[in-house]
Structure 1
C-alpha cells in the first residue's frame, strides 16, 4: 500500500509519502511515489499497482499546458490511460488506485485535489479539492491521532512539515494492513517553487498483512 497525505496551508502545500514497495506481501524495496511536473507547477502522487503509476504520470504530464487545464481534464486523461492499460490491469490482483495532485492554479493560487476509482468508498471518479488535510490510508485511530497533531483548521498553520509529517506517517504505520515504510518523503509546493526531500528512514519495514483498512479520509 502507499501513504499519501496532503496538508494545505496558506503559503504551502505539503505532500507526504512513504517509499515502501511490496511484492506478494513482502517488502521488496523502496521507490518514490511522488513525481514533479515543473512545467505545470504541480506534483502527482499515486497509490496502486506499481506498473500503473508511471503510465499515469506520463499521460497526465503530457495532457495539459497549465495547472488549471490539468485539473479540468485529468479525469478524462486517466480514464483513457486506464482503458489503454486494461490488459495490464486485468492481470493485477488489486488494480484499484488513488491519485493526489498539488500545485499552483493560475486563477486561485495554491491548490490540491484527490480522486480514486474505489467503489467501496465515497465519491469514486470525482475530483475532491483539499481544503485543509487529506490522508491515505486512514482509520479511526489515525484520525484521532491526527487531532493531537492538528487540533483545528486554524492550528494547521502551525503544522511542522519536518516533525509532524513523520508523526503522521508513524500513526499510519501502526496498522500492518497499511504496509507503509522505507522512508518518508516531503514534497513542498509554494507560490514560487517545488522542493522534495527525504526526512526520515525506518530501519525496518514489516511485511504487508491483509486486513481491514480505511483508504481515504479528508
Structure 2
C-alpha cells in the first residue's frame, strides 16, 4: 500500500506520496512513483493499492476526461471497471484507493476527493465506492497512529506554525512509523511506507514534482523505519 498526504488552499494543492510497493507480508517489491500528473485540468491523481490502477485509468480515460470535474463524475465507475480488469487478468484482488486533487471549474476552487474499493471492511463515515471530499485543510491516507504523530512534535502549539511541506513531511514520517494490518491476519501489521517521498504541487500557472527525500529501503526486505539499513 501507499501513503498519500494532500493539502489544499485557495491557490494550490500540495500532495506528498511515497514510492514503496510491498507484498502481502510487508516486503518491498519495487520502488516507483504513484502519481499521475494531469496538467490539462490542472490536477494530480494518486493511488493506494495496485499501481496498475493509475496507468489503466489513464488509458481508459484517453481524451474523454478533459477536466477535474469530469474525472470526479467518472472515477467511481471507472475504478470498478479497472478492478474488474484486474479480476479478469487474475491479479490478486486487494484494497484500492484513488485520491484526486485539482482545480474545479464548477466550484472555482482547488479540491481533494477520494474513493476506495476492494475487499476491505466499510468505514463508518465513508462507504466504499462513494466519493468523499476532503473538508479540512489536509488529508492523510492512511491516517498515522496518534502516538507516532505526537512523537514527531506535531502536537506543538499552533502559534508556532510550521511550513506546509515540513508539516506534510513529518506526517509522512509518522505514517512510515505506523503499521498497517495484514488483510489476511488483522492481528499482524506491516510497515508499508518507503522508497522515497515525492512532492507534487498544482497551481493555476502549472505543476511541478520532485523527490524530496529517499530512504535506504532494500528490495526484497521488510521496511523497517526504526533502525538498520531501512531507518
Moved over 4 A (4+): none
SS, match of residue 40 in structure 1: coil
Cross-structure match for 1:214 = none
SS, match of residue 47 in structure 2: strand
Is contact 1:137–1:178 with CA below 8 Å preserved after alignment?
Answer: no
1:15-67: CA deviation from partner (whole Å, max 9, x where unpaired): 11001122463223310001101122111000112333321233245441222
Q: Distance in 2 between matches of 1:167 and 1:61?
A: 36
Q: Distance in 2 between matches of 1:8 and 1:142?
A: 25
Is 53-62 or 30-39 further displaced after alignment? 53-62
Is contact 1:41–1:67 with CA below 8 Å preserved after alignment?
Answer: yes
Relative distance call for 1:139 and 1:170 in structure 2 (3 A) is: closer
Q: Quick check: 1:85 aligned with 2:86?
A: yes
Cross-structure match for 1:116 = 116
Q: Quick check: 1:38 aligned with 2:46?
A: no
Q: Quick check: 1:204 aligned with 2:208?
A: no
Give the total of aligned pairs.
203
Is contact 1:166–1:200 with CA below 8 Å preserved after alignment?
Answer: no
Is contact 1:63–1:77 with CA below 8 Å preserved after alignment?
Answer: no
Cross-structure match for 1:215 = none
Shift of 1:109: 2.0
| TM-score between the two structures when normalised by the length of structure 1 | 0.80
Cross-structure match for 1:127 = 131
| TM-score between the two structures when normalised by the length of structure 2 | 0.76
Q: Quick check: 1:28 aligned with 2:29?
A: yes
Task: Write the mapping of 1:60-209 to structure 2, written as runs, cut at 5 A.
Answer: 60=61, 62-88=63-89, 90-92=90-92, 94-107=93-106, 108-118=108-118, 119-122=120-123, 123-131=127-135, 132-141=137-146, 144-145=149-150, 149=154, 160-176=163-179, 177-204=190-217, 207=222
Q: 5+ unaligned residues in a row in structure 1: which ranges?
A: 210-218
The structure with more helix, counted as a fraction of residues: 1
Q: 5+ unaligned residues in a row in structure 2: which ranges?
A: 180-189, 225-231
Q: Calculate the aligned-residue CA RMSD, in Å.
A: 2.8
SS, match of residue 140 in structure 2: strand
Is contact 2:31–2:195 with CA below 8 Å preserved after alignment?
Answer: yes
Q: Which has the larger radius of gyration?
A: 2
Cross-structure match for 1:3 = 3
SS, match of residue 75 in structure 1: helix
